[in-house]
Structure 1
Amino acid sequence: MSSLSDTETELRRPTAVITADIKANAIQAFGELAARGPVLRVTLSNGLDAWAVLSYDAARAALTHPALLHDATPAEKALDAVGYTMHKVGQGIAGSMLMSDPPDHTRLRRLVAPTFSPRRTKLLADRVHEITAELLDAMGPAGEAELVEAFTAPLPITVICELLGVPVPERAAFRQWTNDMLDLPSQKQRTAAASLYGYLSGLVERKQAEPGDDLLSDLIAQHNHEDGRLSRQELIGTAVLLVVAGHDTTVNLLGNALAALFRRPDQAQILRERPELIPGAVEEFLRLDSSVELATLRYAAEDLELAGVPIRRGDVIAVYLGQANRDAPQNDDGDRDVLDVTRPSARHIAFGHGIHHCLGAPLARMEATIALGALLQRFPDLEPATGPDDVQWIPSGMMRGPISLPVRFTPVG
């Protein structure tokens, strides 16, 4: 890095540390940060200094900039200093399309895309209805439940495990592994990543011997193809990505939506009376409180400028999708910090932007629409068992969502 001017040196001094308190009060706290500028120097909760991208326009620019890549080579020293390993092959989602740049990204995405087409997603809808009904049937008689444990977590993990062909007795550990994997760098995080990677590596070996009618068997066929379309590391990294992206994102989408509705019971009543609004409301939930608060990190491959801020080669870029969404221009004049389930065509980048736009977006939207509609109709007097200020939020990492949501309702036999 060439010598810095006094002005740039000052600009590069971190202005905030992204703490658990900031994450717990995301809407207000990130809004206050964004008021200082669209791109700010911060210290992430893992101790890594990075440029936080906080505006909608700057986020879209960062996510499509040809020199902001997933190749972490220029930042390797800084990442090693804080124990960050997500970019390393053999550590969870490394080797997947999410952590790849073209041309590898293009090839990997093309191989997986057919699984998450809108047509195939529609075929899964009947099964999602069945799983949802089973979970609500189990909750009904008690008149109370902890929604994350009883509903928002088991629904998406069941769907993704069925897609991958994971045997039922082996699914229980997935949720803990994925939660721990996306946390701060720690021994727990590294152990979880290694455990999930190791399990799926073993599952690949079993399915190579006995293929099934599932996505993982389809991916193995690509790996075994004479053209070598998918290396073993890419195969396992892609399987880990599908578990993480197909589970945690939807768990937190549902949790954030319900937490928002508990703060605004009038909005829940609107959806009970007008269920046709639920698909549009899902977009509003994604806009207001994105389940993926922070995109996977990017690294500057060269000196560049972002929203007028000079970025140097090797700098780490943290795109805060949650705050960028709340800054997105809308088609109405309503308050963008307030939930409005009637908002027309809520605009957001909760599923990313550009070549890394989430392939699983149709599946997540479908699951959320079915799950929220069924829950609101089955339990018309559903309410939180604790105050809105008592919700405990995920304290660190990429995700935004409640750890638990205790509720009560009139028992249903």
Structure 2
Amino acid sequence: MSDERCPYTIDPTGTDLHGEAATLRRRGPATQVELPGGVVVWAVTDTALIKALLTDPRVSRDTYQHWPAWENGEGELARTWPLAMWVADRNMITAYGAEHSRLRRLVAKAFTARRTNALRPRIEQIVATLLDSIAAQGKDGPVDLRAEYAYALPTWVISELLGVPDAIRDELLDMIGRWLTGAISPEEAPLLEERVYTVLARLVEQRRQSPGEDLISGLIAARDDRDGPGLTERELVDTILLTFTAGHETTANLLDQAIFALLSHPEQRELVRSGAASWDDVIEETLRSEAPFANLPMRYAVEDFELGGVKFTKGDAIMISFAGSGRDPKVHGEDADVFDITRATRGDHIGFGHGVHYCLGAPLARLEARIALPALFERFAGLRLARPADEIPRLTSFVSNGHQELPVLLDPVPVA
């Protein structure tokens, strides 16, 4: 048996995300783990401690200010660590204090309730187009709903919102997908990062030359306004990268996991069909039980402090386990592993974060799910998994929580 005083080695492929989270939980509310590359950090699974950390000013996401091991981006980690892109960017998510507020205000303009609700007709159009395509494909056999629906919808929506053209979008998606799933070697990581920033720089230049009514054009205008908020070129590019990545990956995983859960739990699907539960119930229980990001590096201790019985030292790196929190038995009971859309605590989760870094795009993600899920199940009443649920592989990532594919059959089960 391994010594629990030693760092637990995280499985970078995420083979058993929830089993691993349970193992970490047994070691305490926070425990030290080793990430790929030999980096040791605190992994936090306890919901109460997570919420306290996410609202504590002694915790920062600014890698450059508050992680000595990063050496201001000039050390070995910045050059060779396969997870470097998770901590190297400079945007509202990684900023601290007043810098965070300044950057968040720029992006928040694109995600107001009014602007989000105004997207409903366009989302409905995209959903209808995708369902027509799925219907045509389904005549010949299984359809991969991960690729053709759960992933396609949010990438289409966020691309239009940002102003990312198709040619650049496809290349970005490919590179970001490799990064999120860890499908890169340490040698490839810096090359991939360089390529991502080259593509984004080209996109920014295109938008400078031909601005539109999109978020990127708005950010460029703020960047180039001498009397504006002082947005640097790096902050501009990193904000685009953050918004594009978070704007599609979280929603894709939400849709993927919701569809998978209903198809593998027919009694839950019947509750929705009968009106005993709502689509909002499905969405919230999915976010609780299968957080779109299972783990998210990184945060840092700004000073020495103790919280929830855990002593953090200045410069310590901290990883939040959203998967661990979502199935925390202290919050959700001993049956926290069970998918139950009638669960009283289904909405008591941090699937979209907590505190000042709560996801700005959460209302948009929920809106997309509220439109996409009922449209899918109403269109294809006989929808079913094409393979047993336990044979559908998860993404090879300890961060992004979804499936590699979601093969389904559209037609009803034949009657003997």
TM over 0.5: yes
1:53 aligns with 2:47: no
2:54–2:354 CA contact under 8 A, matched in 1: yes
- Structure 1 residues 256, 263: CA separation in 2 closer, same or farther (over 3 Å shift)? same
- Tell me how far 1:11 sits from its aligned partner: 7.5
Partner of 1:17: 9
Give the superposition deviation at 1:36: 2.6
The Cα offsets for residues 47-89 of structure 1, whole Å up to 9 and x where unpaired, read as 3211110110111112122222123232326845745422665
Q: 1:244 Cα shift?
A: 0.4
* Structure 2 Cα separation of the partners of residues 315 and 43 of structure 1: 13
Q: Tell me the alpha carbon deviations over residues 164-187 of structure 1, each in whole angstroms, 9 at most, x when there is no partner.
A: 112234322232222123344734
Per-residue CA shift, 1:20-55, capped at 9, x if unaligned? 57x332233312321231111111244321111011
Q: Which residue of structure 2 lines up, in the alignment, with residue 164 of structure 1? A: 162
Alignment of 1:108-127 (within 5 A): 108-127=103-122
Equivalent-residue separation in structure 2 for 1:321 and 1:113 (angstroms):
23
Q: 2:219 and 2:334 mapped to 1: Cα distance?
A: 45
State the TM-score, normalizing by the size of structure 2: 0.88
Q: Distance in 2 between matches of 1:142 and 1:202?
A: 35
Instruction: State the partner residue of 1:66.
Output: 57
**Residues matched between the structures, number:** 395
- Indicate conservation of the 8 Å contact 1:216/1:239, yes or no: yes
Structure 2 residue matching 1:399: 3-state secondary structure:
coil
Q: Distance in 1 between matches of 2:51 and 2:216?
A: 32
Match of 1:4 in 2: none
Offset at 1:304? 1.8
Alpha-carbon shift at residue 228 of structure 1 (Å): 4.0
> Which runs of structure 2 are paired with 1:224-303 in the superposition (5 Å)?
224-229=224-229, 230-274=231-275, 277-303=278-304
User: Letter of the aligned partner of 1:64 in structure 2?
Assistant: T
Matches within 5 A, 1:299-314: 299-314=300-315
Measure the CA separation in 2 of the matches of 1:369 and 1:376: 12
- 8 A contact 1:284–1:339 mirrored in 2: yes
Equivalent AA in structure 2 for residue 35 of structure 1: R
Counterpart position of 1:106 = 101
Bigger shift: 398-407 or 256-265? Answer: 256-265
- CA displacement at 1:308 relative to structure 2: 1.1
- Residue 70 (structure 2) aligns with: 76
C-alpha distance after superposition, 1:205-240 (max 9, x if no partner)? 122122111111111111121224222111111111
Contact 2:172 2:199 in 1 (8 A): no
SS of residue matched to 1:40: strand
CA distance in 1, matches of 2:175, 2:312: 35
- Is 2:218 the counterpart of 1:218? yes
**2:343 paired residue number:** 343
1:365 deviation in Å? 0.7
Corresponding letter in the other structure for 1:394 = L
Contact kept, 8 Å, 2:277 with 2:341, in 1: the verdict is no
Stretch deviating more after TM superposition (219-228 or 363-372): 219-228
Report the TM-score, using the length of structure 1 for normalisation.
0.89
Pair 157,46 (structure 1): closer, same or farther in 2 beyond 3 Å: farther
Q: CA RMSD in A?
A: 2.3
Question: Identity over aligned residues, as a percent?
Answer: 37
Task: Name structure 1 gaps, 5 residues minimum.
Answer: 1-9
**Residue in structure 2 matched with residue 181 of structure 1 by the alignment:** 179
Deviation, 1:112, is 1.1
